[in-house]
């Protein structure tokens, strides 16, 4: 089980990190915007974390005589999710230093533009600018940024783990 979880977890983390890095040039070209970035982001996570299903199926069919309980299947999925989340966060840290070095300014500009487009008055725009500055300070700290990044992908992994465990359990 350990080998399966580690192999599929590292592969899932690498895929999610690579897909994330590949989307950054699309954001810079305006193909991905603040409005649709969450759709692209979560779609790449679902693709990468779909390996949870295959890891549980592999364990059940090849290593456990065709049997796996809901709890064991869920455990495999959650461990794999944790490994993938670490890989995803490491990939984001690398991306911040390379392909996404201007991420914070792009994000800030997009967030401010959303406020302007929604018709925010001067008071609200001042509040938004303060929020942006506070976020920049917080996000500059890797001890805060790293777990924040992991928390982007973990809920997706938990959901896919639950679904996979429900589908693949077999007594």
**Tell me: the pLDDT tens digits for 109-154?**
888 888 888 888 999 889 999 999 999 999 999 999 999 999 999 9
CB atoms within 10 A of CB 115: 18
In a domain, 34, yes or no: yes
In a domain, 129, yes or no: no
Range of the domain at 85: 2-100+146-168
Q: What is the pTM of this model?
A: 0.89
In a domain, 115, yes or no: no
In a domain, 113, yes or no: no
In a domain, 41, yes or no: yes
In a domain, 94, yes or no: yes
Query: Domain tally for the chain?
Result: 1
In a domain, 135, yes or no: no
Find the DSSP H helices in the chain. Answer: 2-28, 37-49, 51-58, 70-97, 103-117, 122-139, 142-168
In a domain, 119, yes or no: no
Q: Express each pLDDT in 14-72 by its tens digit.
A: 999 999 888 888 877 878 877 788 888 899 999 999 999 999 999 999 999 999 999 99
């Amino acid at each position: 089980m350990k080998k399966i979880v580690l192999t599929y977890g590292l592969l899932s983390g690498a895929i999610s990190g690579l897909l994330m890095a590949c989307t950054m040039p699309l954001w810079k070209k305006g193909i991905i915007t603040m409005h649709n970035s969450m759709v692209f982001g979560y779609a790449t996570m679902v693709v990468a974390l779909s390996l949870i299903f295959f890891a549980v199926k592999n364990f059940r069919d090849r290593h456990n005589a065709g049997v796996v309980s809901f709890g064991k299947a869920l455990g495999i999925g959650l461990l794999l999710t944790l490994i993938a989340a670490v890989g995803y966060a490491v990939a984001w840290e690398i991306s911040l230093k390379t392909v996404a070095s201007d991420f914070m300014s792009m994000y800030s500009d997009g967030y401010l533009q959303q406020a302007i487009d929604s018709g925010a008055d001067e008071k609200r725009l001042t509040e938004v600018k303060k929020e942006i500055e506070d976020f920049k300070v917080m996000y500059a700290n890797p001890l805060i940024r790293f777990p924040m990044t992991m928390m982007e992908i973990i809920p997706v992994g938990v959901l896919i783990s639950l679904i996979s465990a429900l589908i693949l359990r077999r007594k």
